[in-house]
Amino acid sequence: MPVIRGLDHVVHVVRDLEAAGELYDLLGFTVGSRNRHPWGTDNRIVQMPGFFIELLEIAQPEAIVPHGETSFSFGAFNRDFLAEVGQGLSMLVLEGHDPAADKLEFDTAGYGGLDLFDFSRKGKRPDGSDVEVAFSLAFAREAASPQAGFFTCLQRRPENFWAPDLQRHMNGTTGVAGVVLTAQDPAAHTDFLSVFVGTDLRRAVDGWHIAHTPRGDVDLMSPALFSQRFGVAAPEGPGLRLAALRFAVEDIAKLRRRVSSSRMGAEEIEGLVVVSPKAALGATLAFEPAA
């Protein structure tokens, strides 16, 4: 029986990692220090309980390896996304429980065919001490959606990665509420996303499908419904695009004051505070009261 996979993290690829860190800091998030991957990318992490945002920069383009016939290159995908699309949300990652089982499920459904990938890197605790973190990834792909990356991630050293001090945010964010994907024809992608998430997407209204997971919702919307709900244009491109992140906050008034003090353009729409892609380096960031 398929396991419903909760949200693990998203990749927000940017041209300037320090500028991205400053943006999230202005919004009231606690941002981790710079880390280096061995394949040419650097990141900084914004943690919430069980979920994180990976701010990513192409730091050493000469170190990026190309895609292989059955190997997926994380660095090449994000380099190409940045060149072809620009800054924004490039990849959706769900929690992995058994990478081999995830791969088999994706392969059997016709959405896999890619090798498992295990790696480790150095990280830093909030006190500055060095630790090793390690991950196992299983990739899924939908041919119709070349500008969205999908994989599951199993933490091999979770005690070295998660840090409660990094999960306390001045803006009152307590966790992830969900992610929003868009597509011109949402119904054409529900089969892929159902396999990836591990549960069926339910139709809310025409052009809007929802999957509930153990950690946050996965919403799939038409561009028109997305614009109506969030007040900004949906990202353009073929197939699926990762369009928005939804955050749960304990005090929406406190969040509103924080965003206002940052002098960052934000709109209030039906209980949401929405920071637009123009202000947030290509990402739509939506804040809502915690349930």
Last residue of a domain, one of 146, 167, 188: 167
Structure tokens at 126: 């909030």
Q: Is residue 85 located within the same domain as residue 132?
A: yes
E strands, 32-145, in order: 35-36, 41-48, 51-58, 88-95, 117-124, 130-140
Q: What mean pLDDT do residues 191-202 have?
A: 97
* Contact indicator for 112, 192 with CB cutoff of 8 Å: no
As a whole number, the mean pLDDT across the chain is 95
AA identity, residue 223: P
Structural domain count, the chain: 2
- Choosing from 116, 144, 167, the residue where a domain stops is 167
**Gap between the Cα atoms of 111 and 103, Å rounded:** 9
26 and 158 assigned to the same domain: yes
Closest CA to 125 of 21, 35, 16, 13: 35
Q: What is the DSSP letter of 156?
A: S
Q: Does a structural domain hold residue 1? A: no
Asked if residue 124 has pLDDT above 80, the reply is: no
Which comes out higher in pLDDT, residue 2 or 14? 14
Q: Are residues 124 and 216 in the same domain?
A: no
pLDDT of residue 95: 98
122, HSE (Cβ side, Cα atoms, 13 Å) = 8
**Euclidean distance between CA atoms 191 and 211, whole angstroms:** 12
107 and 239 inside one domain: no
Which of 167, 184, 214 finishes a domain? 167
Q: Are 10 and 95 spatial neighbours (Cβ–Cβ below 8 Å)?
A: no
Q: Which amino acid is at 84?
A: E
Handedness of CA 74, 77, 79, 82 (dihedral sign): negative
Tell whether the model's pLDDT for residue 207 goes beyond 80: yes
The better pLDDT of the pair 129, 236 is held by 236
pLDDT at 101 over 70: yes
Q: Are residues 82 and 202 in the same domain?
A: no
CATH of residue 11's domain is 3.10.180.10
CA–CA distance, 106 with 2 (Å, rounded to integer): 11
96 and 51 co-located in one domain: yes
Residue % of the chain over a pLDDT of 70: 100
Residue-range definition of the domain harbouring residue 131: 7-167
3-class SS at 244? strand
Mean pLDDT, residues 4-8: 98
- The three-class DSSP label of residue 205 is strand
Instruction: Extract the tokens encoding 94.
Output: 């769900």
Q: What contacts 188, CB < 8 A, 6 or more positions away?
A: 144
pLDDT of residue 125: 76
Q: Which of 104, 101, 99 is nearest to 118 (CA)?
A: 99
Instruction: Report the percent of the chain where pLDDT is more than 90.
Output: 87
pLDDT at 46: 98
Two structure tokens written together for 179: 């992610």
Question: From residue 65, how far is each of 72, 77, 251 by CA, in Å?
Answer: 9, 10, 44
Is pLDDT of 2 > 80? no
pLDDT tens digits along 34-70: 999 989 999 999 999 999 999 999 999 999 999 999 9
pLDDT score for 1: 61
Q: pLDDT tens, 238-277?
A: 999 999 999 999 999 989 988 888 878 788 998 899 999 9
> Does 154 share its domain with 201?
no
Read off the pLDDT of each residue in 175-197 and give the average, rounded to a whole number.
98
SS3 call for 160: helix
Q: Which two tokens stand for residue 252?
A: 């929406």
